[in-house]
Amino acid sequence: MNPLSTIKGTLISGLLIAIAIALLPIEVMGGRPELSIIVWVHVLAGITWIGILYYFNFVQVPALAEAASDEGGPGGSGITKYVAPKALLWFRWGAVVTWLSGAAYLLRNGDFIGAFTLGAMEGGTAYQTTIGIGAWLGTIMFFNVWVLIWPNQKKVLGIVEASAEEIAKARKVAGLASRTNTMLSLPLIMSMIGAHHGYLM
C-alpha cells in the first residue's frame, strides 16, 4: 500500500524520515539533540499555525465573501460547518505548541529572560534582542488566537449561541485580530530567522 494514499500514512512516513535524521550521531547534530527536537517541534507547529492563519486570510475569508455574493450559488455553509471548525482546532492548538516549544527552547538555552527583556539586561546579546522581538510578537499573536479569535469564531460558527448583533460584532473582532496576526507574522518570521542568521533584521 502506498503511504501517500492517506494523510495518516503521509504524516507517519514524514515522521519516520525525521526520526532517522534525528538518530544521526550527536556530533553531526551539534551535540545538543534535545534542542534539535524542541526546534523541530517548534518549527512544525509554527508552520501549522501560520499556514492555517494564511489559509484563513488569503483563501477562506475571500471565498466565503464570494459565496455570500453569489445568488443562487451553493453558499458557504459547507465551509463554515465542516472546514472552519477543524481548521480552527489545528490553528489554536498549533499556536499552543508553537508558543510552549519556543519558550522551552529559550529556557533550555538560557535565553528566556534575556529574550523577553529584549537583551536589555546586563550581558544581553543581539541574539536575545532579535529572538525577543519574535517571542513578544508570537506572544501577542497567541493571545489574539485564544482571547479574541477563538471565542468570537465560536459565535460566528454557531458553536455558542449569539444574537445577530453579537455575531456581527464577533465577526469584526475575530477578523481584525486575524488580520493583526497576519501583519505581525511577517516581522515575527524575520526575527526568528534573523536571530539564527547573524541577527540581521
The whole-number pLDDT of residue 20 equals 81
- For residue 28, pLDDT over 90 is answered with no
Residue 180 has which C-alpha cell? 493583526
Q: What is the pLDDT of residues 80-113, one digit of tens each?
A: 999 999 999 999 999 999 999 999 999 999 999 9
The whole-number pLDDT of residue 27 equals 56
Helix, strand, or coil (residue 41)? helix
Model-wide pTM > 0.95: no
- For residue 164, pLDDT over 70 is answered with yes
More confident residue, 90 or 75: 90
Q: Grid coordinates 528566556 are at which residue?
A: 112
Q: Tell me the mean pLDDT in the region 32-55.
A: 89
Alpha-carbon span 192 to 201, nearest angstrom = 9
Res. 200 pLDDT band, cuts 50 70 90:
low
Q: Grid coordinates 488569503 are at which residue?
A: 58
- DSSP-derived secondary structure for 54-108: HHIIIIIHHHHHHHHH-TTS--SHHIIIIIHHHHHHHHHHHHHHHHHHHHHHHHH
- For residue 29, pLDDT over 70 is answered with no
The whole-number pLDDT of residue 38 equals 87
The whole-number pLDDT of residue 139 equals 98
